[in-house]
Amino acid sequence: MARITLDGIAHSYDARSPNALQRLDHVWEQGRAYALLGPSGCGKTTLLNIISGLITPSEGRVLFDGSDVTHLPTERRNIAQVFQFPVIYDTMTVAGNLAFPLKNRGVERGAIKSRVAEVAALLGLTQDLSRRARGITAEAKQKVSLGRGLVRADVAAILFDEPLTVIDPSLKWQLRSKLKAVHRALDLLMIYVTHDQIEALTFADEVVVMKDGRVLQVATPARLFEQPEHTFVGYFIGSPGMNLVAANVADNVAHVAGHAIELAGRYPSLPDKSTVLGFRPDYASLVPDGGIPVRIRRLEDLGRRRLARVALGPHEIFATVPPDMPIDGEQAGLTIRQDRLFVYANDELVAGNRR
């Protein structure tokens, strides 16, 4: 049970190279599920290892419930970690694996036995307890590694480092819902590293989106979708990602490829080169008449909805095709929901002044 505070954390593996993790302040609240989302090499695992104590950060402090644990070794922090590849002790049975962390901490035998039985029941491993851990499936092995974290009654947080990588796709869903159930049952802080947005968005209460060692946005899945604060977030989350087109923004009008688009707010003068207008395909739809004239390149029928790949001047964007709209010819109009239009300068969201 704990909240974990990162106070000005930064890390670089090598003094000469740029930071693997740039300065970061964040509070991980007790009982919540977080996901660290980002492409490979963005510093997710580094951040996770700093929290678990496998890495000591070059700068900043890590606080568990207000006490400084920055230089405390992993085994003295109340942290459990599940790795990308299942780590199990080949020499032991499943029960032996689950009992191992308690045995090492000198817990009394009877207590170990009941605790192991409890955790095994929670994870659905009861019938495997006496089996050799080496012979069980990858999915069960991941459950055992998770179980080794859960048996410790004092565990403050469970960290997952892409735990579903080696799991059979058909079983991923099952294991993920198991994790969710465990989270609900135990009221633990969980931090989950992944590069799969579906995993992140379904697992977490809050998602931390990272890129190049920098945290771009921390928000609920819904907010990441509705109001991305960085072009990368807009582009990375959602399928297809946000449409991003170069624009000239003056006051409350954006000029895109010669067309004027009215914005919901007023904007100060912005640099021409890096100013970008962003809107999700879900909020841009084609209309037979009116709107901004676009040329249809291709239609994609996704079953539940239809998407069109259209050309807006030199830009290629995605737009939703209303269910009842017939498509004939190449020409169509585009309308975008005004409150879902965002302006980015240097990739960062610029807030407009609402009238």
Partner 1 sequence: MEKPYNNRAWLMVAPVFALVLFSALLPMMTVVNYSVQDSLGQNQFFWNGDGWFRDLLNPSTEIGARFADALLRNLSFSVVALLIEIPLGIAIALCLPRSGWTIGPLLVIIALPMLIPWNVVGTIWQIFSRADIGLFGAALTRLGLHYNVTQEPISAWCTIVVIDVWHWTPLVILLVYAGLRAIPDAYYQAARIDAASRWATFINIELPKLQKVLVIAVLLRFMETFMIYTEPFVVTGGGPGSATTFLSIDLVKIALGQVDLGSAAAMSLVYNLITLTLCWIFFTIMTQLDRRRYA
Which span (15-23, 25-33, 81-89, 283-291) binds partner 1, by CB under 8 A? 81-89
- The DSSP 8-state label assigned to residue 240 in this structure reads S
In this structure, the dihedral spanned by the alpha carbons of residues 263, 269, 275 and 276, taken in order and rounded to 10 degrees, is -10
Q: Report the residue from 60, 100, 226, 309 that binds partner 1 according to the rule CB under 8 A.
A: 100
Q: Which of 109, 113, 134, 337 binds partner 1 (CB under 8 A)?
A: 134
By beta-carbon proximity to partner 1, the closer residue of 166 and 299 is: 166
Q: Report the residue from 54, 219, 287, 325 that binds partner 1 according to the rule CB under 8 A.
A: 54
Q: Secondary structure of 31-87 in the HEC alphabet?
A: CCEEEEECCCCCCHHHHHHHHHCCCCCCEEEEEECCEECCCCCHHHCCEEEECCCCC
Least separation, in Å, of the C-beta of 44 and partner 1?
15
- DSSP letter at 232? H
Binding window for partner 1 (CB under 8 A); candidates: 17-25, 76-84, 241-249, 341-349: 76-84
Q: Which residue's CB is nearer to partner 1, number 54 or number 246?
A: 54
User: For residues 162 and 166, what is the distance between their CA atoms, to the nearest angstrom?
Assistant: 9
- Binder among 38, 43, 57, 101 for partner 1 (CB under 8 A): 101
**Cβ-Cβ contacts under 8 Å for 304 (sequence gap 6 or more):** none
Q: Please say whether the dihedral angle defined by the alpha carbons of residues 227, 232, 237 and 242, taken in this order, is positive or negative.
A: positive
What sign does the dihedral 238-243-248-249 (CA atoms) show? negative
17 lies in the binding site for partner 1 (CB under 8 A): no
Site membership for partner 1, residue 52 (CB under 8 A): yes
Q: Is 71 in the site for partner 1 (CB under 8 A)?
A: no
Question: Is 90 a binder of partner 1 (CB under 8 A)?
Answer: yes
Residue 75 found at the interface with partner 1 (CB under 8 A): yes
Residues 6+ apart with CB under 8 A from 14: none
- Residues 189/206, Cβ–Cβ less than 8 Å: no
Q: Does 163 bind partner 1 (CB under 8 A)?
A: no
Rounded to the nearest whole angstrom, what is the least distance from the CB of residue 152 to partner 1 in the complex? 9
CB of 212 to partner 1, least distance (A): 23
Query: Residues binding partner 1: what is the number (CB under 8 A)?
Result: 27
Nearest 5 degrees, angle CA 291-CA 293-CA 299?
100
The least distance separating partner 1 from the CB of residue 280, rounded to whole angstroms, comes to 38
220 binds partner 1 (CB under 8 A): no
For partner 1, the binding residues in 262-281 under the rule CB under 8 A are none
Which lies closer to partner 1 via its Cβ, residue 159 or residue 341?
Answer: 159
The span of 69-77, 121-129, 203-211, 265-273 binding partner 1 (CB under 8 A) equals: 69-77
Check residue 73 for interaction with partner 1 (CB under 8 A): yes
Query: Alpha carbon of 77 to those of 62, 108, 260: distances in Å?
Result: 11, 20, 57
What one-character-per-residue DSSP string does 279-326 give? E-GGGEEEESSSSEEEEEEEEEE-SSSEEEEEEETTEEEEEEEPTT--
Q: How far is CA 4 from the centre of its chain?
A: 18
Beta bridge partners of 284: 336
Between 132 and 266, CB nearer to partner 1: 132
User: Which of these segments, 72-80, 237-245, 302-310, 330-338, binds partner 1 (CB under 8 A)?
Assistant: 72-80
Please, what sign has the CA dihedral across residues 199, 204, 207, 213?
A: negative
Of 96 and 291, the one with the shorter C-beta distance to partner 1 is 96
Q: Least Å distance between CB 187 and partner 1? A: 21
Per CB under 8 A, the list member of 10, 32, 72, 83 interacting with partner 1 is 83
Interface residues with partner 1 (CB under 8 A)? 49, 52, 54, 73-75, 79-81, 83-85, 87, 89-92, 100-101, 104-105, 132, 134-135, 145, 148-149
